[in-house]
Amino acid sequence: MIFTQGESRGNLTKHDLCTPALILDLDMFESNLNKMASCARDCRFQLRPHTKSHKCPVIARRQIEAGAVGVCVATLSEAEVMAEAGIPGILITSELVGKPKIERLMTLAKRHPDLMVVVDNAENVRQLAQAAEAHKVQLNVLIEMDVGSHRTGTAPGMPTLELAQVIARTPSLKLQGLQAYAGFAAHIVSFESRKAGSEEAMAKAFETQHLLKKHGIDANLLTGGSTGTYNIDSQLQGAIELQAGSYIFMDLDYRRIGGRGSDLYEDFGCALTVLSTVISRPSADWATVDAGLKAFSTDKPYAPECKTVGNIAYSWGGDEHGKLNLTQADRQVSLGERLEFIIPHCDPTVNLYDCIYAVRGEKVEAIWPIAARGYIPY
Amino acid sequence: MIFTQGESRGNLTKHDLCTPALILDLDMFESNLNKMASCARDCRFQLRPHTKSHKCPVIARRQIEAGAVGVCVATLSEAEVMAEAGIPGILITSELVGKPKIERLMTLAKRHPDLMVVVDNAENVRQLAQAAEAHKVQLNVLIEMDVGSHRTGTAPGMPTLELAQVIARTPSLKLQGLQAYAGFAAHIVSFESRKAGSEEAMAKAFETQHLLKKHGIDANLLTGGSTGTYNIDSQLQGAIELQAGSYIFMDLDYRRIGGRGSDLYEDFGCALTVLSTVISRPSADWATVDAGLKAFSTDKPYAPECKTVGNIAYSWGGDEHGKLNLTQADRQVSLGERLEFIIPHCDPTVNLYDCIYAVRGEKVEAIWPIAARGYIPY
């Protein structure tokens, strides 16, 4: 990388940037950051935001400064990068299975005793325990429960209790709590349906937490929730630590789920865009930009939405091309014009870039490395 | 990066790698490389392979050593990385528009006089010419023609001639030829239909080339073609320089287009896979791997195909998760087991990783940096 973290960019403006470029509107970002932080203070919930959305230590630091108790990470490399940057309270929210990852985990846990990792399987618990013992580490674990996503996690109730009992008997592991991430609930369209979905999922988590308590096992930390359910989970009868991640950026996928009493979910503003350049005008009704499927993730069924000019219809035009249908556009666009697009899905889009240009108005205030992008070898 | 380009990996095997990891089967890769190279020799066409597929200078070097006359790149940063690595004959196949890119281009062109870039617009030509003059560079350009993809390029015939005449009058630019990339034809299913599609597209290019000749303008280099049409374009009455890229890796998207007399396109073998680990077994019929939509691109409507165990149905499970339906699987899979997947679309998948593990059998022979991944700031 040819820049330094946090270095001043002098008089650099958006107009100086080569495109496609990932742009963060700092005013909007700070408003999102502060809104979630004050909500956490007001509703007395802990926030451990998920950094898989940004993979950026500078942003993680800002979240900690705003009151977060730590951060969540999805991968071992994200954990390594965040730890290296001095971010405390790291929770790895995916199971780490197999010797290569477990060995790397031990190196990290030795240096960062507050590190936590989720487990959902007795065999994995046995391997982690063995490694922890060999490395003279006491490893903090949370049991991940399956509260409806059916991809990872123990079934609520007895299966979770049984795994908790295995952990309780294992001196090199320390059970810190339960993870109940209802990913399926995060994007349920309409606030009321989403509320019902999340409440049903979280009820299973609370019941299991009580079952463990009845059997003498404290699993005090209950972590889960999302940007879509922050104002649902924080109202439940029971303390949930929130893992919300996307709230700092927002995207089309979240915007369409609807808010409390509104069709669009606008509790947080769309702070993240991709800046592109019109590189061709093949006909009067069409323009082509230099942002294609290596500039936006394509995992959602929405096309990027042009923020600069209304009613432009974007369609994928290849690795480095987006095709713009201008038939209904509010105005014409010219060759060389720079257009910003709101992104369909923030997490995997950020993962395509090496840095975020943090801008205020037109001015590039800082360039933030997306240091945990990709998978760190090996 | 914590490794050195081409450095020996000692006794490192696939089993030592943290997953997800991008794996290149060297035997298959070399077979693909040699097959295209000998086809070029036998059919007397020039090969300038497209490096947007691999973004890896080590692979570009191998292609040059196998006889390629240069390489194609899709972006300015790809050009910079390849040039820095000493790769000759770089053709930038996308229009570079706007001051920030044009300034960077001039720096590069000054150091690499054989660099070429495509144009499709008189205004862009004027800006390039002005910059070239200011930097005392003679810039090599090709006119990109639209032969059916309708995203960039001049219309065949008169519009292309008119732009060629503008370039011919501009001392700081040197017209080297025409680009006629029929992206739409590359993936037409069935050899005969693909042949018809590509022939129709290329006929427009040859006609325009003759039209220019008639007007005293030499546009000798005609570049285009793809992995899907290499054995079609090389048989045409007229010399085409081939831009094929995916042939070194292959993917599900190309395999399904069908070969000459076969349902599957198997002229080149699937050399590239993603190695994953089973991290959860939520039920008897389901397993979850640690390779999700940050490990595979999602721009094609096919799921990754498991190479290790037959008849496993993969579905997306989130950023870092793939869900495997085992109902029809040839055998069970166990927690911690490592599964390889053939990828839906090679180019944007490679773009997600920082390195390729080049393996022979189980042994990791080298780790190759994907040095031109992403967009180099700024």
**How far is C-alpha A21 from the chain's CA centre?**
20
Inter-CA distances, A366 with A13, A53, A249, B87, B141, Å: 10, 19, 16, 33, 36
Q: Do A18 and B104 touch (CB under 8 A)?
A: yes
**Inter-chain residue contact A375 with B354, CB threshold 8 Å:** yes
A12 to B378: CB separation less than 8 angstroms, yes or no: yes
DSSP A271: -
Whether the bond between A344 and the residue before it is cis, its omega within 30 degrees of 0, is no
Q: Do B319 and A288 touch (CB under 8 A)?
A: no
Interface test with B, best of A51, A143, A179, A290 (most B CBs within 10 A): A290
B191-212 as b/e: b if 16+ CB within 10 A? beebbebbbebbbbbbebbebb
- Contact call for residues A79 and A115 (beta carbons, < 8 A): yes
- pLDDT of the residue at A366: 97
Residue A293 has what DSSP assignment? T
Chain B residues whose beta carbon lies within 8 Å of the beta carbon of residue A15: 100
Give the model's pLDDT for residue B377.
79
CA B115 to chain centre: 18
Is A54 within 8 Å of A68 (Cβ atoms)? no
Inter-chain contact A335–B123, Cβ cutoff 8 Å? yes
Compute the distance between CA of residue A209 and CA of residue B115 in angstroms, rounded to an integer: 65
Mean pLDDT, chain B, rounded, equals 95
Measure CB to CB from residue B95 to each of A77, A279, A316 and give the nearest one.
Answer: A279
Q: Judge contact between B179 and B149, C-beta under 8 A.
A: no
Name the helix (H) or strand (E) containing A214.
helix A191-214
Q: What is the pLDDT of residues B257-275, one digit of tens each?
A: 999 999 999 999 999 999 9
Percent of chain A scored above 90 by pLDDT? Answer: 94
Q: Measured between beta carbons, which residues in chain B are less than 8 angstroms from residue A184? A: none
**Chain A hits for B181, Cβ within 8 Å:** none
Mean pLDDT computed over A333-361 = 98
Across the interface, whether the CB atoms of B375 and A21 are under 8 A apart is answered yes
* A278·B97 Cβ contact <8 A: yes
pLDDT given at position B2: 40
Cβ–Cβ contacts within 10 Å for residue B190, how many? Answer: 12
The 10s digit of each residue's pLDDT in A79-135 is 999 999 999 999 999 999 999 999 999 999 999 999 999 999 999 999 999 999 999
Instruction: Give yes or no for a contact between A353 and A23, defined as CB atoms under 8 angstroms apart.
Output: no
Give contacts of A18 with chain B, Cβ < 8 Å.
76, 100-101, 104, 375, 377-378
Q: How confident is the model at residue B238 (pLDDT cuts 50, 70, 90)?
A: confident
Interface predicted TM-score of the whole assembly (ipTM), two decimals:
0.96
* Contact (CB, 8 A) for B124 and B102: no
- CA-based R_g, chain B, Å: 22
CA–CA dist B320, B291 (Å, integer): 5
Tell me how far apart the alpha carbons of residues A216 and A204 are, in angstroms, rounded to a whole number.
Answer: 19
Q: How confident is the model at residue B5 (pLDDT cuts 50, 70, 90)?
A: very low
Tokens of A313: 């219809």
Give the confidence band of A150 by pLDDT, cuts at 50, 70, 90: very high
CA atoms of B24 and B357, how far apart (whole Å): 6
Q: Does A217 or B1 have the greater pLDDT score?
A: A217
Question: Which chain A residues have a beta carbon less than 8 Å from that of B12?
Answer: 378
Which of B16, B352, B353 lies at the smallest CB-CB distance from A100? B16
Q: Do B378 and A17 touch (CB under 8 A)?
A: yes
Residues in B closer than 8 angstroms to A16, CB to CB, are: 100, 378
**Is B293's CB within 8 Å of A286's CB?**
no
User: Are the beta carbons of A101 and A132 closer than 8 angstroms?
Assistant: no
pLDDT > 90: what percent of chain B? Answer: 94
Search chain B and give the residue with CA nearest A324: B151
Give the nearest partner residue to B151 out of A96, A282, A378, using CB atoms: A282
> Is the pLDDT confidence value at B3 over 50?
no
Interface test with A, best of B24, B299, B359 (most A CBs within 10 A): B299
Angstrom distances, CA of residue B311 to CA of A15, A249, B308, B325, B341:
51, 39, 10, 9, 12
| Cα(B108)–Cα(B101) distance, integer angstroms | 11
Instruction: Look at A375 and B321 and tell me if their CB atoms are within 8 Å.
Output: no
Contact (CB<8Å) B98/A277:
yes
Inform me whether the pLDDT recorded for A272 exceeds 80. Answer: yes
Determine contact, residues B109/B128, Cβ cutoff 8 Å. no
Measured distance CA(B245)–CA(A103) in Å, rounded: 38
Per-residue pLDDT tens for A15-56?
999 999 999 999 999 999 999 999 999 999 999 999 999 999
Angstroms from A42 CA to nearest CA on chain B: 31
SS (H, E, C) chain B: CCCCCCCCCCCCEHHHCCCCEEEEEHHHHHHHHHHHHHHHHHHCCCECCECCCCCCHHHHHHHHHCCCCCEEECCHHHHHHHHHCCCCCEEECCCCCCHHHHHHHHHHHHHCCCCEEEECCHHHHHHHHHHHHHCCCCEEEEEEECCCCCCCCECCCHHHHHHHHHHHCCCCEEEEEEEECCHHHHCCCCHHHHHHHHHHHHHHHHHHHHHHHHCCCCCCEEEECCCCCHHHHCCCCCCCEECCCHHHCCCHHHHCCCECCECCCCCCCCCEEEEEEEEEEEECCEEEECCCCCCCCCCCCCCCEECCCCCCEEEECCCCCEEEECCCCCCCCCCCCEEEEECCCHHHHHCCCCEEEEEECCEEEEEEECCCCCCCCC
CA gap B288, B278 in Å, rounded: 6
Contact A294, B373 (CB under 8 A): no
Question: Which residues of chain B neighbour A321 with C-beta distances below 8 Å?
Answer: 94, 151-152
Measured CA to CA, the distance from residue A301 to residue A299 in angstroms comes to 7
- Per-residue pLDDT, B378: 65
Residues B307, B340 contacting (CB under 8 angstroms): yes
Report whether A283 contacts A277 (CB < 8 A): no
Q: Are strands B21-25 and A363-369 parallel, antiparallel or unpaired?
A: unpaired
The C-alpha atoms of residue B93 and residue B89 are separated, in whole angstroms, by: 12
- Residue B4, pLDDT > 90, answer no
Euclidean distance between CA atoms A278 and B309, whole angstroms: 46
Q: Closest-CA residue in chain A for B289?
A: A151
Q: Do B18 and A104 touch (CB under 8 A)?
A: yes
Which residues of chain A are within 8 Å of residue B17 when distances are taken between CB atoms? 100, 377-378
**Subunit contact A74:B320, Cβ cutoff 8 A:** yes
> From the CA of B42, how many Å to the nearest CA of chain A?
31
CB contact under 8 A, B94 and A354: no
Separation of alpha carbons A154 and A158, rounded Å:
9
Residue A9: pLDDT over 80: no
Q: For residue A238, is pLDDT > 90?
A: no
Tokens matching residue B141 = 């350009």
Q: Do B293 and A378 touch (CB under 8 A)?
A: no
A349 contact residues in B (CB cutoff 8 A): none
Pairwise CB contact (< 8 Å): A94 & B290: yes
Describe the strand order of the beta sheet including A71-73 as a list of residue ranges. Answer: A71-73, A90-92, A116-119, A139-144, A173-180, A221-224, A241-242
Is the pLDDT reported for residue A5 higher than 70? no
Q: Looking at the complex, report in whole angstroms how far the Cα of residue A19 sits from the nearest Cα belonging to chain B.
A: 8
What is d(CA A294, CA B20) in angstroms, rounded to the nearest whole number? 19
Helix-strand-coil percent breakdown of chain A, rounded to 5? 30, 25, 45
Instruction: Tell me the percentage of chain B whose pLDDT exceeds 70.
Output: 97
Cβ-Cβ contacts under 8 Å, A151 against chain B: 280, 282, 288, 317-318, 321, 323
Residue keyed to tokens 């109940």 = A180
pLDDT digits (tens, 9 = 90+) for B109-147: 999 999 999 999 999 999 999 999 999 999 999 999 999
**Torsion-angle region of B55 (φ positive above 0: left; ψ -120 to 50: alpha; else: beta):** left
pLDDT at A6 over 90: no
Between chain A and chain B, the number of residue pairs with CB atoms below 8 A apart is 217
Least Cα separation, residue B18 to chain A (angstroms): 5
Residue A228 has pLDDT above 60, yes or no: yes
pLDDT tens by residue, B54-96: 999 999 999 999 999 999 999 999 999 999 999 999 999 999 9
